[in-house]
């Protein structure tokens, strides 16, 4: 694994002169953030040694090097989901490569279904914590001390200072930014009404099919993390509306300007 990470990092270093210290993983419908990155250099996943290729509709696969405002960034356009059939080492491989390139701060975004009754479709939520319900752990197996410690703490998996900054920005801009706990599950089914209720009872505010593996690995690697979730549908026993992939993408597009404003400012101020 170490060899693969280094090989990939070396390749990217050979293609990119100015290496960013900030990486952003763009989730469903949040791809348009790419339009705000300047001086762009696209590197398709298919050209990157050891990178898997994304399979889901609506997710294109590129690493994008450029600037968001004044800040050099790497953006991942298209992520790897566990439900696509990748194992956890593959899902989190790009985060390992980011660390090897010198990235110290990771921003992640995703779409999720809301269980918190205060949420409405199109809300944006700072992820303050998560509950990992994936059946496979990305750190299971041999631990390489070069990559991180055997038993990493997850107490501050989402950086408190970045959470505070995001609140400050949302306040200034008049954006309703919720806080909550993200429950990470495999999918690809959306939840049954009973499952949404269950995830609420155990302490979740929203549920989604990504993010948790990458955040665990970023913490293992000693990176600071900020996560934002777009509430694209609501779930629970009183909800009669059936969620669809199209509806999720449409809601994400509606919420995208709020996400974009927060992300842009946050990346520049941190």
Kindly list the residues in this chain that would bind ligand HPA in the complex (CB under 6 A): 111-113, 187, 190-191, 207-209, 232-233, 235, 243, 248
**Any residues with CB less than 8 A from the CB of 141 and at least 6 apart, and which?**
89
Measured CA to CA, the distance from residue 182 to residue 202 in angstroms comes to 11
* Cβ 27 to ligand HPA shortest distance, Å: 9
Q: In sequence order, what are the residues at sequence separation of 6 or more whose Cβ sits closer than 8 angstroms to the Cβ of residue 164?
A: none
Separation of alpha carbons 187 and 85, rounded Å? 11
Of all residues in the shown chain, the one whose CB is closest to ligand HPA is 113
Q: Which is nearer to ligand HPA, 44 or 187 (CB)?
A: 187
- CB closer to ligand HPA out of 59 and 71: 59
Nearest to 183 by CA among 138, 129, 130: 130
Q: How far is the CB of 229 from ligand HPA (least distance, A)?
A: 9
- E strands, 56-104, are 62-68, 71-77
Query: CA angle at residue 92 from 89 to 97, to 5 degrees?
Result: 105
CB of 123 to ligand HPA, least distance (A): 12
Q: Could you tell me the smallest distance in angstroms from the CB atom of residue 196 to ligand HPA?
A: 7
- Least distance from C-beta 251 to ligand HPA, angstroms? 8
> Closest separation between CB of residue 210 and ligand HPA, Å?
8
Contact 205, 180 (CB under 8 A): yes
Is residue 110 within 8 Å of residue 256, measured between CB atoms?
A: no
- Least Å distance, CB 244 to ligand HPA, is 10
For residue 134, give every residue at least 6 positions away whose Cβ sits within 8 Å of its Cβ, in sequence order, or none.
82, 88, 184, 185, 186, 212, 213
* Rounded-to-integer distance, Cα 48 and Cα 87, Å: 19
Element (H, E) at 220: helix 212-220
Query: 25 phi and psi, to 5 degrees?
Result: -100, 120
């Amino acid at each position: 694994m170490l060899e693969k990470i280094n090989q990939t990092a070396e390749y990217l270093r050979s293609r990119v002169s100015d290496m960013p210290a900030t990486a952003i993983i763009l989730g469903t419908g949040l791809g348009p953030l790419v339009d705000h990155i300047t001086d762009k250099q696209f590197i398709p996943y298919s050209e990157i040694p050891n990178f898997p290729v994304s399979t889901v509709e609506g997710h294109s696969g590129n690493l994008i090097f450029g600037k968001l405002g004044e800040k050099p960034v790497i953006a991942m356009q298209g992520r790897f989901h566990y439900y696509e059939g990748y194992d956890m080492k593959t899902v989190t491989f790009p985060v390992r490569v980011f660390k090897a390139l010198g990235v110290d701060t990771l921003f992640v975004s995703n779409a999720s279904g809301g269980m918190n009754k205060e949420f409405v479709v199109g809300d944006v939520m700072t992820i303050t914590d998560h509950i990992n319900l994936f059946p496979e752990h990305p750190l299971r197996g041999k631990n390489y001390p070069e990559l991180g410690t055997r038993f990493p703490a997850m107490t501050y998996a989402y950086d408190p200072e970045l959470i505070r900054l995001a609140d400050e920005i949302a306040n200034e801009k008049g954006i309703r930014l919720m806080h909550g706990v993200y429950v990470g599950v495999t999918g690809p089914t959306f939840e049954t009404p009973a499952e949404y209720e269950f995830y609420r009872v155990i302490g979740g505010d929203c549920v989604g099919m990504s993010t948790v593996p990458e955040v665990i690995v970023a913490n293992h690697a000693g990176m600071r993390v900020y996560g934002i979730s777009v509430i694209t549908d609501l779930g629970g026993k009183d909800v009669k509306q059936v969620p669809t992939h199209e509806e999720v993408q449409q809601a994400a597009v509606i919420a995208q300007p709020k996400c974009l404003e927060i992300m842009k400012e946050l990346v520049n101020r941190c």
